[in-house]
Every structure is written in C-alpha cells, then in structure tokens.
Amino acid sequence: MWKYFAKRLGMMAVALFFIILLTFIIMHSIPGGPFTSDRKVSAEVEAALNAKYNLDAPLYEQFFDYLGGVLRGDFGPSYEYTGKSVNDFIANGFPVSAKLGVITMVFVLLASIPMGILAAVKNGKWQDMAVMAVATIGVTIPSFVIASVLIYIFSFRLNWLPTYGVDTWKGYILPVIALGGYSVSYLARLMRSSLLEVMGQDYIRTARAKGLSETKVILRHAMRNALIPVITVLGPTVANLLTGSFVVEKIFAIPGLGVHFVNSVSQRDYTTIMGVTIFYATFLLAMIFIVDVFYCLIDPRIKYE
C-alpha cells in the first residue's frame, strides 16, 4: 500500500515537471514580449529590461533557472508590477480564494449528499421531484447567470446581502451559492442515481433479510457503496470550484487568486501566468492524490499494484 502511494507521488512529480515545461514553452512561443505594449519603449530601455530579467539568455538556461526557482518555491518577479513577486500575489490571493473554496466545498457536500439521499429514498415522490428540479436548474444554468439573478433578487430588490466583497459573513452567501451551485446539483444527481442503483443490489436484500431497519440498511450497507462514485468525482469537483472561482471572484469583486490570474493574462504578465498555473496544477494533483487515498481506504477491492 505504501509502495503504491510512493509510486503515485513519483508519477505526480513527473506530471508536474511536464506541466512546468509545457507552460514555459507555451508562454515563450506566444509572439510579443512582456514589454510590447501600446506605449513605445525605446530600444535601449527594452534591452535594459531584457537584461534585467535575463530574457537574452538561451531558452533552456532560462528554463532551468526558472525550474530551480520553482523547486525552491520562488516563482520569480512579476513582469508587470515592479517590486512585486508572483509569490506576493499567491500569498495575498490564495488565502482569500482558498477560504471561499473551502466554505463552498463544505456547502456542496452538506447540501448535495443529503439531497441525493432524500431523492433516492423518496424515489418518485414529490421530494424527489423537487430535488431533481433544483438539480436540473443547477447543472444547466452557468454560474455567472445564477450570480446575476441572485444579486438582482437579494441585493437590489430585497437589499439583504451585499453585492460585492467578503468583508462580512453575509458577503459569502451569494458567491458560495453561485460557485457551488453546479457542483451541488451534479453531486446530488450522482448521489441519487448511485444510491438507487446500490439499493437494488442483492447484498441490500441480504441486509434486509437480517432484519435490519431501513435506516440501518441505508447507513451501514448502501451509503458506503453509493459514495464510491461520488468520491471519484470529488477531485474534478475541486478543480471545478477552483476554475469557477475566476468568474465568481470577478463578479463579486473578491480579491482572490482568480482575479490576479485573469488580470495577468490580459497584461501578458508571463511569470504570474506561469506561477499561478503551476500553483494550481500542484494543488489539483494533491487533491487527486488525497481522493485516491480515500478511495483506497473505503474500497478493499482496490489492488495496490
């Protein structure tokens, strides 16, 4: 088992190396340098800038310089904001994004799993219909539309919640719903169908034949089996929440990492784009690894080869 996890970690390191390499190559193959802008910079100034940021050196040398930095946890300086490093952006933005992400994830799990269970247990009844109606809306309407509608109703009309910022707990309500809406709906549907399938299995009949109550049958026998597909998609769900946060952070003017990323793209801030991409990639791989560990813990059939 430990050997298996060690191997997985090794594979993650390799994957990460190629992600860094690819981002680096793509960033350097886009025409136009970081100092190409509407405003004309004299040739001398440009040369000086290139020299300062070591942009004249051969590409492989630049790459290994960069890689060395990344390994030390240093993503280099920002090209756009003098005196600021990419690490500063991450240090400022990530805690904000992470807080929103964690709150959203908790909300997603606490909402979707009970919703899915309720719908499956009340299969075909009005509770099922209600959950499925909400879940269908949630997966079909994009987060920015949901966000706009929510802002219109709860902020402009009813004046209950702020339109932007997360200075108070009230500020989190709308962003969390907008960000988590899709995942709640998706996971609730998945939980429902998975639990329904499991409830039809022979071993559930065995559990009932033991004389267990329906609650015990569901909690002890059906839930763990039904959660397996849900756990499988938790990795991508986290990814979804992270990428989704670009839009939601922008709409609600939340000073998270997503906003920095969007800005850095429009400003050709190479090092910031690369740094944030690599940071996200690492984060994602870590998430997937954690999901994998959970998966192995819950399902004894998984072989560790």
> Contact residues for another protein (CB under 8 A)?
123, 200-203, 205-213, 216, 220-221, 224-225, 298-301
187 and 211 in contact (C-beta within 8 Å)?
A: no
Residue 164 or 294: the one with the smaller Cβ distance to another protein is: 294
Residue 214 beta carbon to another protein: minimum distance, rounded to whole angstroms: 8
Whole-angstrom distance, CA of residue 217 vs CA of residue 40: 73
Residue 134 beta carbon to another protein: minimum distance, rounded to whole angstroms: 24
DSSP string, 132-161: HHHHHHHHHS-HHHHHHHHIIIIIIIS--S
Residue 231 beta carbon to another protein: minimum distance, rounded to whole angstroms: 12
Residue 39 or 210: the one with the smaller Cβ distance to another protein is: 210
Q: Please return the burial class of 183, using the count of CB atoms within 10 Å of its CB with bins 0-12, 13-18 and 19+.
A: buried
**Both structure tokens of 301:** 């059939």
**CA triplet 24, 255, 267: central angle to 5 degrees?**
40
Q: String of b and e for 57-79 (b: at least 16 CB within 10 Å)?
A: eeeeebbeebeebbeeeebbbbb
Residue 38 or 202: the one with the smaller Cβ distance to another protein is: 202
Residue 109 or 302: the one with the smaller Cβ distance to another protein is: 302
Residue 31 or 211: the one with the smaller Cβ distance to another protein is: 211
Residue 266 beta carbon to another protein: minimum distance, rounded to whole angstroms: 49
Residue 195 or 248: the one with the smaller Cβ distance to another protein is: 195
27 and 273 in contact (C-beta within 8 Å)?
A: yes
Residue 121 beta carbon to another protein: minimum distance, rounded to whole angstroms: 12
Whole-angstrom distance, CA of residue 173 vs CA of residue 252: 11
CA atoms within 13 A on the CB side of 67: 17
Residue 200 beta carbon to another protein: minimum distance, rounded to whole angstroms: 7
